[in-house]
Every structure is written in structure tokens, then in C-alpha cells.
């Protein structure tokens, strides 16, 4: 077993021996390549036609009508005009899920608190047909430039990008919807047993950032409105434990969601922790209503 001891112990504490063994087996897999059809510029039939012409086989994802699993490496897809011109966006299946649970109402305002490189921000624009007003924050200048580039390439409108740490947003801001796809340890995205990017100190430090971001989100979310908190981690320290802490601080409730994929058990009814697999990254998604 080459899994780091700290990670093994955290998984055992969260899920027990049988599920931990299954998770470790999944860490040995290489994940499939998937793409999102950018409906602001194209449609799935047009994209399928291009893939057919280039002898790239694909499979539709039943629960996500604009997603395709493709039998190709990313470098080959990036050579296609449909990629260069923003008709498709390379994105994992799990990563496409959080925006689907936002309450996107025409003319409403939404904050994407950790927006770069823009996959979920652009998906929000596509889901709303550019008919909502998005504020997207990114503190790092290089990552913010990448965000702006991608949003322009993908045809996103009504988006304001701010180079700011979302934790420092002034409380005069208020939003109808918030997406907090928080920075995390990446414990759900490990593949081919590559543990080089995760360590115990990272998990300890990142939970403090996650708490601060979620606390800010719940402060500036309008009463009666909902938000999504998500991470690409399966560790309860980054997910359920933080939600439980916020439930003690704020007058909130969990809005139950279903994801349609294999999930890990949770003690909070209605939240979803997606099991890592060849198809999916491990992902946590929670929909919160501010009362």
C-alpha cells in the first residue's frame, strides 16, 4: 500500500475498512476524458458530427445532456477547431455537476467565489443562456487572466471578474445565488496512485480557508436564497464537518439533491459525496438555503 498514512487514517475514520479499500483501488485508475458542449456556441449534434469526421468515438452521459465521454486524449481534442473556437470545453463529469443545482433565474445575480479557470462559470452562463449577472472572483493575477480569456472564448456575457480574495468581499455585496467550489486537498481527484499533491499540512490549512469562504458566502447570500458548496475532496474534514460547523453559526438548512452516480455515505441527509471512479472524480456537493 503506497497511500500516505495520514490519508489512509482519515479515510478509515470516515468510511471504514471496506469502503477505504475500494477507494484505494479507484485511486489506481486513469480517468476517462470528457467534454462539455458549450451551448452558447454550439449543440451536441454539431459536436458529434465533428467527432465522427475525426474518427473519435464518444458516449453520451445520460444525466448530463450536454456532456460527452470521448475515446481520445486531450491533446488530440485540442487540435480541433471546435476546441479552439470554444464550442467545447474539456471538463470532468463531476465538475459539471455543481452548477446544475443552482437556482438560476433570469435577471438574478450570482457569485462564483473561486472561478478560475472558468469551467463552472462558463457553464453557469450556458445554463442561463447569458440571462443572469455573474460576478467571478480570482485573487491570482495569472489565473484571473486565464479566467477572462476562457470566458471570452466561450461567449460568456454579463460577467464581471474581480481580482480579489473572495473572503475579503465587502459585506455591502449581496447575491441571489452563490457557487463556492472551494479550494481543497484534491483527495477525490487522485488517479494512478499519484499522491504528490496532497499532504497532512495541506488538509489542515485548506479547511481554514474553506471555512472562511463559506462563512463569507453565507453572510452575503440573500435570505431565502440558496447556494452550492462543493469540493473535489472526499474527506469529511473538508466537507461535512465544515457544513455542521456552519449550521451552528447560521440559520440555514440543507436542500436535498441527487446526483445519479455512485456515492459515499454521509451523516448529513441530502448532501452528496461522489465515489471516485474511472468515470467520476470524487466530489462533494451540498445545497444550502439561508433562512
Catalytic residues: 232
Which residue from 164, 116, 160, 106 is spatially nearest to 135, judged by alpha carbons? 160
Buried-state track 77-101, b at ≥16 Cβ within 10 A, e below 16: beebebbeebbbbebbbbbbbbbbb
Angle of CA points 254, 257, 259, to nearest 5°: 145
CA distance linking residue 225 with residue 175, whole number of Å: 8
Distances (CA, A) of 30 to 95, 273, 277: 16, 20, 9
For residue 227, the cross-strand partners are 178, 288
Which residue from 90, 96, 89, 86 is spatially nearest to 154, judged by alpha carbons? 86
Distances (CA, A) of 190 to 18, 25, 187, 197: 19, 11, 6, 9
Cα 274 from chain centre: 12
Torsion of the alpha carbons at 110, 93, 266 and 238, rounded to the nearest 10 = -60
Residue whose C-alpha cell is 463556492: 180
Q: Which helix (H) or strand (E) holds 89?
A: strand 88-90
Q: 64-70 and 33-37: which strand pairing? A: antiparallel
Which residue from 264, 266, 227 is spatially nearest to 244, judged by alpha carbons? 266
Amino acid at each position: 500500500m503506497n497511500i500516505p498514512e495520514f490519508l489512509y487514517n482519515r479515510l478509515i475514520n470516515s468510511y471504514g475498512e471496506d469502503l477505504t479499500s475500494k477507494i484505494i483501488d479507484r485511486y489506481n485508475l486513469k480517468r476517462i476524458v470528457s467534454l462539455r458542449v458549450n451551448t452558447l456556441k454550439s449543440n451536441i449534434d454539431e459536436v458529434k458530427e465533428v467527432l465522427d469526421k475525426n474518427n473519435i468515438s464518444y458516449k453520451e452521459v445520460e444525466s448530463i445532456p450536454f456532456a460527452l465521454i470521448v475515446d481520445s486524449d486531450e491533446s488530440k481534442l485540442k487540435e480541433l477547431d471546435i476546441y479552439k473556437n470554444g464550442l467545447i470545453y474539456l471538463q470532468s463529469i463531476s465538475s459539471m455537476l455543481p452548477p446544475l443545482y443552482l437556482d438560476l433565474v433570469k435577471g438574478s445575480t450570482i457569485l462564483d467565489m473561486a472561478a478560475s479557470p472558468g469551467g463552472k462559470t462558463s457553464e453557469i452562463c450556458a445554463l442561463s443562456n447569458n440571462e443572469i449577472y455573474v460576478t467571478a472572483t480570482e485573487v491570482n493575477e495569472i489565473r484571473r487572466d486565464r479566467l477572462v480569456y476562457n470566458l471570452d472564448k466561450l461567449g460568456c456575457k454579463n460577467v464581471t471578474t474581480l481580482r480579489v480574495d473572495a473572503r475579503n468581499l465587502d459585506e455591502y455585496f449581496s447575491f441571489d445565488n452563490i457557487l463556492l467550489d472551494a479550494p481543497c486537498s484534491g483527495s477525490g481527484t487522485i488517479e494512478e496512485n499519484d499522491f504528490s499533491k496532497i499532504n497532512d499540512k495541506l488538509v489542515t490549512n485548506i479547511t481554514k480557508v474553506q471555512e472562511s469562504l463559506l462563512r463569507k458566502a453565507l453572510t452575503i447570500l440573500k435570505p431565502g436564497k440558496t447556494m452550492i458548496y462543493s469540493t473535489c475532496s472526499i474527506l469529511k474534514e473538508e466537507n461535512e464537518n465544515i457544513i455542521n460547523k456552519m449550521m451552528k453559526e447560521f440559520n440555514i438548512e440543507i436542500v436535498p439533491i441527487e446526483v445519479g452516480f455512485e456515492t459515499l455515505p454521509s451523516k448529513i441527509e441530502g448532501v452528496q459525496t461522489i465515489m471516485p471512479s474511472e468515470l467520476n472524480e470524487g466530489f462533494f456537493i451540498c445545497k444550502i438555503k439561508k433562512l
